[in-house]
Structure 1
Amino acid sequence: MLKTQAQIISGYSQKITEVTDRIDQTKNQIDQLSLVRIGLFLIEILFFVLLLNSADDSWRTLLQILLLLPVLVFAYIVKKQSKLDREIEYQKELLWVYQNEWNILNGKTNGYDDGKSFESESHPYSSDLDIFGNASLYGFLNRCYTKNGRELLAKSLAEKSFRSRIIDRQEAVKEMQTKIEDTFDFRANLHGHDVEKIEQIKIQLKFQLGEQLSFIRNKILKSYVAITPYISGLIFLAAIFLSGTFWNVLTIYMIVNIGVTVLQNSKIDKVFYSFGGSSSLLNGYADAILWTENHPWTSTYIQALFHSKVPVSQEIKGLSKIIQRFDTRLNVVVGTVLNALSLWDLKCCIQLNQWYQSSSNDVISALNHLGDFEELISLATSAHNEPEWIFPEITDAFTLTTTAVGHPLISPEIRITNSFTLEARPTVDIVTGSNMAGKSTFLRTLGINMVLAYAGAPVCAQSMSLSVFSINTYMRIKDSLNESTSTFKAELNRLKMILDHVVSDKDTFVLIDEMLRGTNSRDKYLGSKVFVEKLIAEGTPALFATHDLQLADLKNDHEQTLRNFHFDIQIADGEMKFDYKLKEGPCATFNAAILLKEIGLTLE
């Protein structure tokens, strides 16, 4: 049984409370471990004081060994605390994800990118239909945090698709919707990380890392790095149990190792600074990829996203562990000691080279495909949050039929729906009506739901069946001071674009709102008439919203290929009332005289 939107909002509220409680509990654990660390520090001081006051005998040797115990326990506590810190960061991101869904369903702004960078006045429909930018369809749908995910979603909303692909995507979105509760974990693992950093890592893996690691493939250097920790360990044990002279030997050996590291330092830095500090980011991406691997996907579209036969998440985890160890060099004291005793930086480079030789290609592909999952999750989330929306039927035969279609960006409380059906053959449909009666909104409602349908998403309608059209619109025509373009010239440019598309793509569908505003009324009518007749001649379906009733009269000359619809007003006691309902035939009631009278101008 489908949940109501109120139940869905309540579910998000409950999740917000649960995650908040988990964050508080984790913070308490971290505080307790901090007290344990202080206790270990005090014990270490105690052992050190006892060592200073002990004689050179077996008791002193025991104290030297005991000095290591608090250090080892301290290291374990630090590791445990670090794990809890990562957990709390993850929970904070999960909280953000749930809070963001609650915000969207309560009329607040989506925290993900609104797609402003994809805006284009020259696109066939995106500007007129509010596809990108502030208060846009992209801003409403987007749940993509990665660069690749954002670009894929933009492409799905802006480019023409084909029937089989749309149907495959619908199947994938429906499958993703059945796993919607799990998708929030996936999104939390990706959100909050440095997006540009992961792009740098992909470039590094694909083009640079192999060459940068070439120095570490020297057999003599690799062999020396391999035996260094054992030599250091033997000298250290000899110093404790045999003779204090070995402390001097160990000191000299450590200086030699630091010298070896310094000689290779410029090459080590090139490798490190491409990955340094990215362990947490890689862990998050690895967990996200693990999520995709752990589900038995059945839809063809999703199955095609997997290319590797091995778990890529484990490969990325392996890289993350190497980077985490590599990050130790950021602590000058610890890094110096580790390099002196074990050539730590060079050892990390060797491990990185081994990883690179076996895993890098699969990882690049998997990182890119995270965007595909994000995009599908964006559409599946809208399907989950809007339980009354439906997946449209995509047909081969020429058709566009929809009942109770509404604008997805208008709040359900004030949204008005309409039904509309094309004839079995292309027609130009003239839509007349008063100012503010709903003509423009209806055209945008139809267009934006077609965009949703072609992306494989659910639409804001009771039912919808349509073939695949190339949408072209003419609505918000602007002049341009920068390009010295008048409104009329901008309108002509737009008309030329539409005419070119009509000729080159016979599946074009045109939405026009009040054509040729930038010229006189006579030329406006004649130009509109010629354009309508051109669309009829080309067999191009179109909706043409206008105040010009003369265009409705073209029905007399084009009985079979032109239809009239209108939005009207009701006037009661001198007040206007709108029902925003599409009706057949030309409009008979207009409101300009009433509106002018309200500002003190009376038409005789």
Structure 2
Amino acid sequence: MLKTQAQIIFGYSQHIELVTATIENTKKRIENFSYLRIALFFIEVALFVLLLNSADDIGRTIIQIGLVIPIAVFAFVVKKQSKLDNEISYQKQLLWVYQNEWNLLNGIKNGYDDGAEYESEIHPYTSDLDIFGKASLYALINRCYTKKGKALLAKNLKESVQASFIISRQEAVKEVLTCIDDTFDFRANLHGFDAEKIERIKAQLDKELAAQLEFIRNGALKIYVKIAPFISFGILAVAIFFGGIFWNLLTVYLLANIAFVVSKGSKINKVYYSFSGGSNLLNGYAKAISWTEKHSWNTIYIQSLFAIDKPVSEEIKKLSKIIQEFDARLNIVVSTALNAFLLWDLKCCIKLNEWHQNSSKDVVAALNQLGDFEELIALATLAYNQPEWVFPKIKNDFTLQAEEIGHPLIPENIRVRNNYNIESTPTVDVVTGSNMAGKSTFLRTVGINAVLAYTGAPVCAKEMNLSVFKLNTFMRIKDSLNESTSTFKAELNRLKMILDNVSKSRDTFVLIDEMLRGTNSRDKYLGSKVFIEKLIAEQTPALFATHDLQLADMINEHPETLRNFHFDIQIQDGEMKFDYKLKQGPCSTFNAAILLKEIGLSLE
């Protein structure tokens, strides 16, 4: 049984409370470990004082052994506390994910990117249909954090594809919907990290790292790095037992090792800096990839996303571990000691080179694949949050049938739904009506739901059947001071684009809202009339919203290829009432005279 939206909102509230409680509990545990660390410090100090004041007997030996215990416990506590810090960081991201879903369903802005960077005035429909930017369809859908995921969602909102591909994506979204509870964990593992950082890591793995590691492939160098620790600790052991000149020899040898590492410093730095601090990031991405690997996917679309058969998450964890070891160089004291005895930086470079040769290409492919899953999860989350929306049926034959279709960006409590069907052969449907009656919103409702349908997402309707159209719109035409373009010229440019697209594709569907506003009323009518006749001649289906009732009269000349619809107003006690319902035939009631009267102008 499907949940209602109220139940879904309540579910998010419960998750928010549970995660918040978990965070508070984890904070207390971290705090307790902090107190324990302080206590261990004082115990160590006390034991050291006892050691200084003890006699040279068995008691002194016991104290010396005892000095090691607080240090060992301290190291364990630090490791445990670090793990809890990572856990609380993850829990905070999970809380953000749940809170963001609750916010969206309560009318608060989505915390993910709104896609403003993809806005384009010259695209056939995205600007007119509010696909990108503030309060857009992208802003409603997007749950992508990676660069690949955001770009893929934008691409699928901008391009029409074949019916079979849309159907395969619908099946994939439905499959993700069956495990929607796991997707919040997936998103939490990606959110909060520097998205640009992972892009730099991918670029380095794919294009730069092989050349940067060239210096470490020297056979003699690799042998020396391998035996250096044995030499260091061998001299140290001899020095402890025999002292004297061996301490001087050890000092010279360790300084020589440090100098050797410093001589390779510029090359080591090139290898290191793109990865620096990326260990936690990679662990998070590895967990997300692990989820995609462990799930048994059945749909062909999702199966096709896996370019490789073997699990890659473990390889990413290995890279994360190497980077974590490499990060020791951030502490100058620790780094100096490790390089002196172990040639640590060079050792890490050798490990990285071995890893790169075995796993790099697979890991880059898997990291890119995360964007594909993000995009599917975004659509599945929309379907989960809107249980009354339906997946449309994609037809091969010319079809557009919608029952109770509404605008997805209008809140449910004020959204008005309409029924709309096109004929089996293309027609131009002229929609007349008053200002503010709902013509423009209706055109956008049809267009934006078609865009949703073509991405594989559910639509805001009780039922919808449609074939694949190439949408072209003419709604928000702007002049341009920078390009010295008047409104009329901008309109002509847009109309030419539509006509060019109509001539290229028989599958074009045109949405026009009051064309040729930048010219006089006579030319506006004649231009609109000839444009409609051109669409009829090309057998191009269209929705044509206008105030010009003369265009509705064209049905007398084209009774088979032109239909009239309208939105009207009701006047009650001198007040205008809008029901925003689409009706058959041309409009007979307009509101201009009423609006003019309200500002002191009366029409005779």
Q: TM-score, normalised by structure 1?
A: 0.97
- The equivalent of 1:281 in structure 2 is 281
Q: Distance in 2 between matches of 1:546 and 1:266?
A: 68
- The equivalent of 2:102 in structure 1 is 102
Q: Distance in 1 between matches of 2:61 and 2:505?
A: 88
1:40 CA drift (Å): 2.5
1:74 CA drift (Å): 2.3
Tell me the SS of whatever aligns to 2:34.
helix
Residues 494-573 of structure 1: pairs in structure 2 closer than 5 A: 494-573=494-573
1:242 CA drift (Å): 5.5
Tell me the SS of whatever aligns to 2:333.
helix
- The equivalent of 2:188 in structure 1 is 188
Q: Distance in 2 between matches of 1:50 and 1:229?
A: 35
- The equivalent of 1:441 in structure 2 is 441
Tell me the SS of whatever aligns to 1:472.
strand
- The equivalent of 2:167 in structure 1 is 167
Q: Does 1:126 align with 2:121?
A: no
- The equivalent of 1:201 in structure 2 is 201
1:300 CA drift (Å): 0.7
- The equivalent of 2:314 in structure 1 is 314
1:45 CA drift (Å): 3.0
Q: Does 1:40 align with 2:40?
A: yes
Q: Distance in 2 between matches of 1:307 and 1:68?
A: 51
1:53 CA drift (Å): 5.6
1:477-524 Cα shifts (integer Å, max 9, x gaps): 010111100000000000000000000011000000001000000000
Q: Distance in 2 between matches of 1:71 and 1:342?
A: 23
- The equivalent of 2:256 in structure 1 is 256
Q: Read off the aligned partner of 1:29 and give its amino acid letter.
A: R
1:56 CA drift (Å): 8.2
- The equivalent of 1:429 in structure 2 is 429
1:451-472 Cα shifts (integer Å, max 9, x gaps): 0000000000000000000000
Residues 449-464 of structure 1: pairs in structure 2 closer than 5 A: 449-464=449-464
- The equivalent of 2:396 in structure 1 is 396
- The equivalent of 1:324 in structure 2 is 324
Q: Read off the aligned partner of 1:560 and give its amino acid letter.
A: E
- The equivalent of 1:83 in structure 2 is 83
Q: Distance in 2 between matches of 1:250 and 1:36?
A: 38
Q: Read off the aligned partner of 1:86 and give its amino acid letter.
A: N
1:315 CA drift (Å): 0.6
Q: Distance in 2 between matches of 1:76 and 1:258?
A: 30
Q: Distance in 2 between matches of 1:115 and 1:586?
A: 38
Q: Distance in 2 between matches of 1:593 and 1:300?
A: 59
- The equivalent of 1:583 in structure 2 is 583
Residues 16-165 of structure 1: pairs in structure 2 closer than 5 A: 16-50=16-50, 67-165=67-165
Give the direction of change, closer, same or farther, for the CA distance of 1:246–1:59 in structure 2 (3 Å limit): farther
Tell me the SS of whatever aligns to 1:466.
strand
1:85-130 Cα shifts (integer Å, max 9, x gaps): 1110000000000000000000000000000000000000000000
- The equivalent of 2:231 in structure 1 is 231
Q: Mean alpha-carbon deviation: is it higher for 271-280 or for 400-409? A: 271-280
Q: Mean alpha-carbon deviation: is it higher for 483-492 or for 212-221? A: 212-221
1:342-374 Cα shifts (integer Å, max 9, x gaps): 111111111111110100000111111111000
- The equivalent of 1:218 in structure 2 is 218
- The equivalent of 1:272 in structure 2 is 272
Give the direction of change, closer, same or farther, for the CA distance of 1:534–1:478 in structure 2 (3 Å limit): same
Tell me the SS of whatever aligns to 2:274.
helix
Give the direction of change, closer, same or farther, for the CA distance of 1:341–1:73 in structure 2 (3 Å limit): farther
Tell me if structure 2 keeps the 8 A contact 1:407–1:444.
Answer: yes
Q: Read off the aligned partner of 1:477 and give its amino acid letter.
A: I
Q: Distance in 1 between matches of 2:345 and 2:63?
A: 31
Q: Distance in 2 between matches of 1:62 and 1:250?
A: 31
1:78 CA drift (Å): 1.5
Tell me if structure 2 keeps the 8 A contact 1:61–1:240.
Answer: no
Q: Read off the aligned partner of 2:281 and give its amino acid letter.
A: L
1:130-174 Cα shifts (integer Å, max 9, x gaps): 000010000000000001100000001001111111000000000
Q: Distance in 1 between matches of 2:46 and 2:341?
A: 27
Q: Read off the aligned partner of 1:416 and give its amino acid letter.
A: V
Q: Read off the aligned partner of 2:143 and give its amino acid letter.
A: R
Give the direction of change, closer, same or farther, for the CA distance of 1:319–1:266 in structure 2 (3 Å limit): same
Residues 282-431 of structure 1: pairs in structure 2 closer than 5 A: 282-431=282-431
Q: Mean alpha-carbon deviation: is it higher for 83-92 or for 70-79? A: 70-79
- The equivalent of 2:177 in structure 1 is 177
Tell me the SS of whatever aligns to 1:275.
coil
Q: Mean alpha-carbon deviation: is it higher for 216-225 or for 165-174? A: 216-225
Q: Read off the aligned partner of 1:304 and give its amino acid letter.
A: S
1:235 CA drift (Å): 3.7
Q: Distance in 2 between matches of 1:87 and 1:233?
A: 37
Give the direction of change, closer, same or farther, for the CA distance of 1:336–1:44 in structure 2 (3 Å limit): farther
- The equivalent of 1:592 in structure 2 is 592
- The equivalent of 2:478 in structure 1 is 478
Q: Distance in 2 between matches of 1:237 and 1:461?
A: 79
Q: Distance in 2 between matches of 1:306 and 1:561?
A: 48
1:213 CA drift (Å): 0.8
Tell me the SS of whatever aligns to 1:576.
strand
Tell me the SS of whatever aligns to 2:198.
helix
Tell me the SS of whatever aligns to 1:253.
helix
1:518-557 Cα shifts (integer Å, max 9, x gaps): 0000000000000000000000000000000000000000
Q: Distance in 2 between matches of 1:244 and 1:159?
A: 78
Q: Distance in 2 between matches of 1:58 and 1:299?
A: 72
Tell me the SS of whatever aligns to 2:472.
strand
Give the direction of change, closer, same or farther, for the CA distance of 1:249–1:52 in structure 2 (3 Å limit): farther
Tell me the SS of whatever aligns to 1:509.
strand
Q: Distance in 1 between matches of 2:149 and 2:165?
A: 18
Q: Distance in 1 between matches of 2:32 and 2:386?
A: 44
1:67 CA drift (Å): 4.5
1:289-311 Cα shifts (integer Å, max 9, x gaps): 11111111111111111122221
1:72 CA drift (Å): 3.2
Q: Read off the aligned partner of 1:566 and give its amino acid letter.
A: H
Give the direction of change, closer, same or farther, for the CA distance of 1:65–1:406 in structure 2 (3 Å limit): same
Identity, % of aligned positions: 70
Q: Distance in 2 between matches of 1:203 and 1:295?
A: 28
Q: Read off the aligned partner of 1:101 and give its amino acid letter.
A: E
Number of residues of Structure 1 aligned to a counterpart in Structure 2:
604
Q: Distance in 2 between matches of 1:164 and 1:279?
A: 41
Q: Distance in 1 between matches of 2:339 and 2:76?
A: 21
Tell me the SS of whatever aligns to 1:143.
coil
1:54 CA drift (Å): 6.6
Give the direction of change, closer, same or farther, for the CA distance of 1:137–1:92 in structure 2 (3 Å limit): same
Give the direction of change, closer, same or farther, for the CA distance of 1:556–1:497 in structure 2 (3 Å limit): same
1:232 CA drift (Å): 3.0
Tell me if structure 2 keeps the 8 A contact 1:128–1:473.
Answer: yes
Q: Mean alpha-carbon deviation: is it higher for 519-528 or for 239-248? A: 239-248
Give the direction of change, closer, same or farther, for the CA distance of 1:175–1:244 in structure 2 (3 Å limit): farther
Tell me the SS of whatever aligns to 1:404.
strand
Q: Distance in 1 between matches of 2:471 and 2:114?
A: 22
Tell me if structure 2 keeps the 8 A contact 1:440–1:545.
Answer: yes
